[in-house]
């Protein structure tokens, strides 16, 4: 018999949290910067996107999804691309220290 224990769960289990997301009715462009966007315009767009995320009931699973999948673009769970890279770097450093101990 085939071992299916390592296969992912049902698709709906992976994505069901999105049904409750505050961003569902917001233009997705708010969360993803256009090519070449820099400076105050970039910072303002990120800040507005983060305000949407701030009151979201699924902020944590959204952020964890983006971290787990190494999402390279956009604001997810209130974290920008740069912030997610920093979180992942801290986690890797902690993991290395734990293995060395």
Residues with Cβ within 8 Å of residue 66, at least 6 apart in sequence: 74, 76, 77, 79, 84
23 is in an annotated binding site: yes
The size of the chain, in residues, is: 101
Q: How far, rounded to the nearest angstrom, does the alpha carbon of residue 8 sit from its chain's CA centroid? A: 19
Q: By three-state DSSP, how is residue 79 classified? A: strand
Dist. CA 97–CA 71, nearest whole Å: 25
62 is in an annotated binding site: yes
101 is in an annotated binding site: no
Residues within the annotated binding site for [4Fe-4S] cluster? 23, 53, 56, 62
Residues within the annotated binding site? 23, 53, 56, 62
């Amino acid at each position: 018999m085939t071992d299916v224990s390592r296969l992912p769960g049902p698709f709906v289990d992976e994505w069901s949290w999105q049904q409750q997301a505050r961003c569902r009715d917001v233009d997705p462009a708010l969360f993803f910067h256009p090519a070449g966007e820099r400076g105050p315009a970039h910072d303002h767009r990120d800040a507005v996107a983060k305000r949407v995320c701030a009151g979201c009931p699924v902020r944590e699973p959204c952020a964890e999804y983006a971290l787990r999948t190494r999402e390279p673009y956009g604001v997810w769970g209130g974290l920008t691309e740069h912030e997610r890279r920093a979180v992942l770097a801290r986690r890797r450093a902690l993991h290395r220290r734990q293995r060395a101990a």
